[in-house]
Amino acid sequence: MSRPDLPMPLNLKGLNAEWIGNALSIRFPGVTVTDSRIIDVIPGTTTKVRVAVKYNQAGLDMGLPGRLIVKGGFEAHSEAMSSAYVAENRFYALVQQHVDLRSPSCYYADSDPDSWQSIIIMEDLVARGVTFCHPLQTHSFQQVADRLRAMARYHGQSWNSPEFQPGGVLGNIDIPFTDSVMDYIDFYLSAEQWNRLLALPRGAAVPRAFHDREWLREKLLALKKYHEGQPRSILHGDTHLGNLYIDADGTPGFFDPQVRQGPWHYEVCYHLIAALDVCDRRRWDRPLLEVYLNALQQQGISTPDFDQAWDALRREVVWGLFIFLINEPTFQTEAVNTAYAVRYAMAGLDWGIV
């Protein structure tokens, strides 16, 4: 879904009918957008732009929707987030067709190697009547169990896939701890950045046992090493509640991926803690891990015994803890960052990582 001679706009003025039509015509030859209108703009890590469009007869015959979401790097921080944009783009361009992961239909996805820009044109889930999950509204046992079964399905489909090898279809999918991620960790664990962010409400809400940035750095380095040699699968990569939805038929859906190839426990832990109230997680964490392992076995995957799986799961707490201790308030509200940071910190205490 790429065309090198189609420059990507770096501001919203460039998202006009001509550009959208040219982008769509790569996958849908003959389609022209005769008119477009921006309905609303949703800022965040990336910018989501809801656009109403009108098509020529070819577009109407192909059944393309009259409302689209255009996602791109139209924020002041976008240049610094280019690697995250590329990861999401790779999911829609390379991965979506290979795994059974309920996600928005995509009509265009490309990245500009000469700038920070990546743009995705996808369906508007609002028009489909989905229910969006919200970080401040935790989930029930059944909701998390359904999500874990969905994860087991797409993990199992890509388990140690030969396509991860160099030259394979999935060979360009990054592991969780790339050099750029390690640079990100080092930047935010510097005294200046760490002290700035822990001066926010999240710092007061999280127990002081987790204020030691050198301890956290050592734990993250140990986790990076632990990942080496672990079985790899396709991972959505960012399964907190803000990136999830429930379809009208009750099926769990995923969007805003940060696609990775890595071990299952990286994202099972991340989701399980983020999605549950602290008291519920204390009651349900082990039974939910059993749900996931049983679902993975049904995919024909030989899983570790429960104690080994539990040990793998608990090691991953530090990743979610790091993310929401240092997450900028421009990416998530401070209320969301604080709620998540507390959930991970309490899991860390309960699971004995300090």
CATH number at residue 221: 3.90.1200.10
For residue 29, how far is the Cα from the chain centroid?
A: 30
Instruction: Please give the DSSP secondary-structure letter assigned to residue 199.
Output: T
Q: Do both 326 and 216 map to the same domain?
A: yes
Q: Which residues have a Cβ under 8 Å from the Cβ of 279 and sit 6 or more positions away?
A: none
C-alpha dist (Å) from residue 236 to 90, 154, 198, 270? 11, 9, 28, 11
Whether pTM > 0.85 for this model: the answer is yes
Q: Do both 106 and 135 map to the same domain?
A: no
Task: Give residue 3's pLDDT.
Answer: 56
| pLDDT tens digits, one per residue of 234-250 | 999 999 999 999 999 99
pLDDT of 18 strictly over 60: yes
Task: Give residue 43's pLDDT.
Answer: 87
Task: Give residue 11's pLDDT.
Answer: 87
| pLDDT tens digits, one per residue of 116-156 | 788 999 999 998 899 999 999 999 999 999 999 999 999 99
**Distance between CA atoms of residues 20 and 22, nearest Å:** 5
| pLDDT tens digits, one per residue of 285-317 | 999 999 999 999 999 999 999 999 999 999 999
Of 128, 148, 173, which closes a domain? Answer: 128
Domain presence at residue 32? yes
Instruction: Name residue 254's beta-bridge partners.
Output: 244
- The mean-pLDDT minimum among 10-14, 78-82, 228-232 falls in 78-82
Q: Do both 115 and 165 map to the same domain?
A: no
Domain presence at residue 216? yes
Of 85, 104, 128, which closes a domain? Answer: 128
The full DSSP string for 15-42 is: --HHHHHHHHHHHSTT--EEEEEEEEEE
For residue 305, give its domain range: 131-350
**Distance between CA atoms of residues 250 and 123, nearest Å:** 18
Of 81, 107, 128, which closes a domain? Answer: 128
Q: Do both 265 and 304 map to the same domain?
A: yes
